[in-house]
Structure 1
Amino acid sequence: MDQPILQLKQLSKSFANEKVLNEIDLTVETGEIVGYIGPNGAGKSTTVKIMLGLIDEYDGEVRIFGEDIAKGDSSYKAKIGYVPETADLYENLTAFEYFTFVGELYGMEASDVDTKAKQLVNLLGIEEVYHTRISSFSKGMKQKVLIISSLLHNPDLLFLDEPLSGLDANSVIVVKEILAKLAAEGKTIFYSSHIMEVVEKISHRIVLLADGMLIADGTFEELQGQNKDGTLEEIFNELTGFDEHSQIAEQFVSVVQEGQR
């Protein structure tokens, strides 16, 4: 049997004596789309940054492609793609220049980057701005640049943090199809988002983190079976103990309407 693409064993992390991650155990196999969700401050971004090697002080073990990343060999990063929630895109560069910069970081020839990037921008409908400075791009166009740049080197493991942010409805459908086809080709996708409907539809497995602890791990159908039937959003609220949304909304609207009646 092939070794897991990703393994976390007893992963813990503290900042200023506050535990952000508390003994996380997680195994991800080749070709899985894992939806990694949780409230703000649950530890999602910290987990991803540790796996990317951006945070190097932690307790426990992190293995990617079978190798313990704490040993200092960063070669595994060449097989990883990453779309962060917010990113500095060097907006004084054109899309062409940015793709060239990213591609060369991954060891690609500039001519190969140009050939591939031209095809990808055309498929995502931004070919007209290929030689335009990114500073003039809309949020959705910048997001497409991030998605393309994360895939230029054909990574085996893809980390996506709110990858659909700013995209129009048609582009969302296209990107969701792209992710499904990448997984079918054996790519592994670690997907973090607050948009529960998308996580529910695209994920093979859903992992829920709360207060730094893993509190659920399974398919959407398995999570439904363990809790009240409903949408992922309803299951999320139940598992995280948040049941005040209706009351907060009612009070909010009440305040907005004060003095207007």
Structure 2
Amino acid sequence: MPDRTEAENAPSPGAADQVGPVPAVRVRGLWKRFGPQTAVSGIDLDLPAGRFIGLVGPNGAGKTTTLSMVTGLLRPDMGKVEIGGHDVWTDPVAVKSRIGVLPEGLRLFERLSGQELLAYNGRLRGISGAETDKRASQLLDVLDLGDARHKLVVDYSTGMRKKIGLAAALLHNPEVLFLDEPFEGVDPVSAQVIRGVLERYTRSGATVVFSSHVMELVESLCDWVAVMAGGRIKAQGRLAEVRGEAPSLQQAFLDLVGARAVDGADGLDWLGGGR
């Protein structure tokens, strides 16, 4: 499977019919139900290329389900997804060569060392052994995993597992990187390292799409946001546009999703006093 450099030279079906730049991700009418529960309700998204994009929402909003469908890990009930002009379901080889994915609940080959894991991923991607070793060594060093390159992944901490997962997702130099809660459970030092790598990656013209429910983090990292709640997109656009007149993205988010305040009238007047 070609890496990003080769993929950029491949023709893009229908690209000539596009008006203006092709979005990194284009979603139309995406639906997903699990039995009687509707997780994603016919959403439309246009995520611009070369941006740091946040998909934000409360727990249970449908973020993980949406990312799973967008990246081809979960088949939608209805709708269409294109990445760089290629349909995720009818042209999966072209799409998978262009994307990197760090999913929630990442599962790794735990009996491999970090270096062996990256070597295995490189071979799967069709990258030569010498090039894989070079990229793997650089990623391990930049992500502060150099001293743990020969350590089994089963013995990695949560932060180390996130970083080796990120290294595997970046190894083939994808055009678009999808990350599901990449900072959850990560210590501040590892979070800062991950953040630095992602910022460097987007400065090269690549696109990062990551889900989160931490508004302060999104506001500090992203220049484009989509707000999701109840399986629907409540707002999408540049950070300043979505925030509007609100003092922070946090407040704009609370207004958009209809969060309510909790006070004594909710039946918790007994809590915290009268022991």
Alignment TM-score > 0.5, same fold:
yes
Q: Structure 1: how far apart are the matches of 2:263 and 2:199?
A: 34
SS in 1 for 2:233: strand
- Whether the 8 Å contact between 2:55 and 2:63 is mirrored in structure 1 is yes
The amino acid of 2:221's aligned partner reads: I
The amino acid of 1:21's aligned partner reads: V
Alignment of 1:1-261 (within 5 A): 1-225=20-244, 229-244=246-261, 251=268, 255=271, 261=275
Structure 2 residue runs of 5 or longer lacking an equivalent are 1-19
The amino acid of 1:109's aligned partner reads: S
Sequence identity percentage: 33
Q: Structure 1: how far apart are the matches of 2:187 and 2:263?
A: 29
Q: Quick one: structure 1 residues 159 and 245, their matched pair in 2 at CA, closer, same or farther if it must change by over 3 Å? A: farther
Query: 1:190 offset after TM fit, Å?
Result: 0.8
Q: Quick one: structure 1 residues 166 and 212, their matched pair in 2 at CA, closer, same or farther if it must change by over 3 Å? A: closer
In the superposition, the TM-score normalised over structure 2's length comes to 0.84
Q: Structure 1: how far apart are the matches of 2:132 and 2:36?
A: 45
Q: Quick one: structure 1 residues 94 and 187, their matched pair in 2 at CA, closer, same or farther if it must change by over 3 Å? A: same
Q: Structure 2: how far apart are the matches of 1:157 and 1:134?
A: 25
- Whether the 8 Å contact between 1:79 and 1:157 is mirrored in structure 2 is yes
Q: Structure 2: how far apart are the matches of 1:119 and 1:64?
A: 28
- Whether the 8 Å contact between 2:67 and 2:180 is mirrored in structure 1 is no
Note the alpha carbon deviations across 1:177-208, whole angstroms, 9 max, x for none.
Answer: 32223222110111111221111111111101
- Whether the 8 Å contact between 1:33 and 1:202 is mirrored in structure 2 is yes
- Whether the 8 Å contact between 1:8 and 1:62 is mirrored in structure 2 is yes
SS in 2 for 1:25: strand
SS in 2 for 1:31: coil
The amino acid of 1:235's aligned partner reads: A
Structure 1 residue runs of 5 or longer lacking an equivalent are none
- Whether the 8 Å contact between 1:162 and 1:192 is mirrored in structure 2 is yes
The amino acid of 2:34's aligned partner reads: F
Q: Structure 2: how far apart are the matches of 1:56 and 1:167?
A: 30
SS in 2 for 1:55: coil
Q: Quick one: structure 1 residues 150 and 135, their matched pair in 2 at CA, closer, same or farther if it must change by over 3 Å? A: same
Q: Quick one: structure 1 residues 246 and 155, their matched pair in 2 at CA, closer, same or farther if it must change by over 3 Å? A: farther
The amino acid of 1:204's aligned partner reads: D
Q: Quick one: structure 1 residues 133 and 246, their matched pair in 2 at CA, closer, same or farther if it must change by over 3 Å? A: farther
The amino acid of 2:168's aligned partner reads: S
The amino acid of 1:92's aligned partner reads: R
Q: Structure 2: how far apart are the matches of 1:247 and 1:185?
A: 51
SS in 2 for 1:14: strand
- Whether the 8 Å contact between 2:30 and 2:76 is mirrored in structure 1 is no
Note the alpha carbon deviations across 1:30-71, whole angstroms, 9 max, x for none.
Answer: 102210011122111111111111122421221112122232
Which has the larger share of helix? 1
Query: 1:165 offset after TM fit, Å?
Result: 2.9
In the superposition, the TM-score normalised over structure 1's length comes to 0.89
Q: Quick one: structure 1 residues 247 and 48, their matched pair in 2 at CA, closer, same or farther if it must change by over 3 Å? A: farther
Q: Quick one: structure 1 residues 198 and 248, their matched pair in 2 at CA, closer, same or farther if it must change by over 3 Å? A: farther
